[in-house]
A and B are shown apart, each in its own frame.
Chain A
Amino acid sequence: MTPSAHTSTGRLGWLVLPALLFFVVFAVVPLIGVFVLSFTSWDGIGAISFTGLKSWTAVLTDPGLPHALWVTFLIIVLSWIAQTPLSILLGVFISGHQKYRAVLAVLFFLPLLLSAAAVSIAYKALLDPNFGLGPGLKLGFLTQDWLGKSALAMGVVIFIIAWQWIPFHSLIYQGAIRQIPTSMYEAAQIDGAGRVRQFFSITLPQLKNTMITSSTLMIVGSLTTFDLIFVLTGGGPNDATRALALDMYLTGFRANQMGLASAIAVILVVVGLILAQVLQRLGGKERNSQLEGA
């Protein structure tokens, strides 16, 4: 599937076979299945009947779709904004070799070890307006209807996503920063550049490729965020956090409309492909040359 695989097909092409087999069985076949299902009407238990474009017209004319797309877009953009600057700063901080930084790095890394469902349940308990942290510690500002008001609920979702994933992205940045040749910083120091100047003139530009990688993971992750929202808010209040992936699940498995859910799934795939293409373009040619050089 990679360019190198194509060029060396003659001798080592068979190495790709297991991966290809898995990809076909678990990705291509279900994808075709979902596409076919999107032209049917099926409640999940009875007979499947072909209804042509009925599911598609229903999904595309439903005001729920633009809303779900908007919620998904919000989650992608807001969680990127919330995570990227903090991840870079944390990455810079823990890229030093002092022992205390290594200890702190381990602590920072903890949220990533927990499952999204466990994290959601814990936060749900902490944020409970009657039995949670706020009323427990008698802190008025913490005693909000966190998950019952649209804007607050969205904020909580973004916060928890950031809380859980910043450690991971910090780790990526930490690795990238340690790869930057120290000679560049020594040269800058001789030229009289301060720490801030060094950060903006050397660290940030050198991190460009890492940022593309990290952003891709973030955006893809946000696009398919499901477990966290499902457990935390169930898409509520009043659909405020009903993102596309959740919308697909609820339509398919709770409302028993597999045809509609499949149409939404196809839309999700298309949105994902478009995003991947855009990110690919953003990377530009420079990235490729660096990859080959590495």
Chain B
Amino acid sequence: MDHNRTSRRSFIALATATPLVATVLASCGDSGPGAASSDGATDWILTGAPKEKIRQTAVDDWNKAHSDQKITTSAFQNDAYKAKIKTAIGAGQAPTIIFGWGGGTLRNYAESKLVDDLTPWLTENPDVKSRLFDAAFAAGTVDDKVYGLPTETVQPLVFFYNKKLFKQINAEPPTTWDELMALVPKFNAANIAPISLGGQSRWTNMMWLEMLFDRIGGPELFESIYNGTPNWTDPSAIDALTKVQDLVKADGFIKGFASITADSNADQALLYTDKAAMMLHGTWTYGGMKTDGGDFVSSGNLGYVNFPAVTGGKGDPTNTFGNPAQYVSISSKATQKAKDIALAFFKSGLLQDKEAEAYITEAGEVPIVKGIDSKFSGMDDEEWLKFTYDLATNAPSFAQSWDQALSPTEAETLLDNIEKLFGLAITPQEFAANMNAAIGS
């Protein structure tokens, strides 16, 4: 029995001490990123087709052309990367090039002086900045200093719908919230789920709140919360929160949405298997629906519009939300030589024409390069690419997803409360009170 207790206790202790153990282990790597930086720069990329290949090719091409400025890549699965990069940076073992999504996480890094300020470098190299979307820089900027250089693609939220099902009940895609609410009973009567939602992932629910907050209160509403005013009890906010719960109560979302996850793409599958009629999601789902959905996309059954307007709302109905870009930063702990290699790569190796075109042809996404729309003509997805490009570039406000904009601590509180709001476990007023206590107070 004594023996049993010992092993149990050590097991718990082991489990509880993971941060420390992880730190210890992270510093024992054979060719740890810190070690490799002495003879070159290191870069961690994400796995998954088709973007992994695009990222890798960009680095390979660079290494071929610059044998004296080598960059070594390591690839990680998305969620594993998010956990690992945090530990690695905390342990001072970050790669030279830190990939991320900007916002609150980048702010944490910047405030702890773990990433370099790129502003002086951008001033010296104005052409780097001038060829990228202006709106992409905001989420990589902390206190007027650029810490994250935008790269890759723009990913706004899009209101997708299934044209076949709309034809079946003889309806048009909604242009206002009232039209959307009116569609719900019609689809339910036809035994079709009105809206697909992967609610267990929580950030999927958040997209509905983001768009409603924007349409009703305008982008200023969340901006003021983000800047420290506890505005969740604002009448516009309460209105948005109430509207979401009305939609839940009216069975607008598919039954069982709380147990559906977005990571498994089950929500996309509901749309292309004709089980659900509408879906609010990011442009990144287009490629998945194209490859997994059979002829759903190619036969023109996938419809897409911007999120409906709310009558009397303050927000411009052409506004959008999502990921303005992805970001690369330079680790402040890297050697000067590694930093120089990374910056040279940023200047003439990253998101050059070949890589940008690959995003269009292989991923169906719009790279954040100005004037890239001239490359769309004649493509399979021309109409879709044009739609995304216009949505992203014409939006008076393109705000970053709340969970990325906020610090990880605040984002977790937000997502927790959003899950309860959609589960009807708390009222809009309780949600507002909880959030006021946690964020912006």
Contact = CB atoms under 8 A, between A and B. Distances in A.
18 contacts: A43-B108, A44-B86, A44-B90, A47-B112, A130-B256, A131-B269, A147-B200, A147-B259, A148-B258, A216-B1, A224-B15, A238-B420, A252-B19, A254-B412, A255-B413, A256-B408, A256-B409, A269-B9
A280 interface: yes
Contact of B260 (A23, A37, A128, A250): A128
A143 to B, nearest CB: 9
Contacts of B5: 276, 280
B206 interface: no
B16 A253 contact: no
Interface in B102-159: 108-109, 111-112, 114
B199 interface: yes
B16 A262 contact: yes
A145 interface: yes
Interface of A: 1-3, 23, 26-31, 33-34, 37, 43-47, 124, 127-131, 145-149, 153, 213, 216-217, 220, 223-224, 226, 233-234, 236-239, 245, 248, 250, 252-258, 262, 265-266, 268-269, 272-273, 276, 280, 283, 287
B49 interface: no
B419 A238 contact: yes
A213 B112 contact: no
B250 interface: no
A56 to B, nearest CB: 15
Given A238-B419, A256-B408, A258-B19, 14 more contacts: A3-B2, A33-B20, A34-B17, A43-B408, A45-B108, A130-B260, A145-B256, A147-B259, A224-B15, A238-B425, A245-B15, A255-B412, A269-B16, A276-B9
A151 B416 CA distance: 19
A224 B425 CA distance: 27
A272 B10 CA distance: 11
A23 B6 CA distance: 9
Contacts, number: 157
Contacts of A29: 17, 20
Interface of B: 1-6, 8-17, 19-21, 83, 86-87, 89-90, 108-109, 111-112, 114, 199-200, 254-261, 266, 269-270, 275, 407-409, 412-413, 416, 419-420, 423, 425
B17 to A, nearest CB: 3
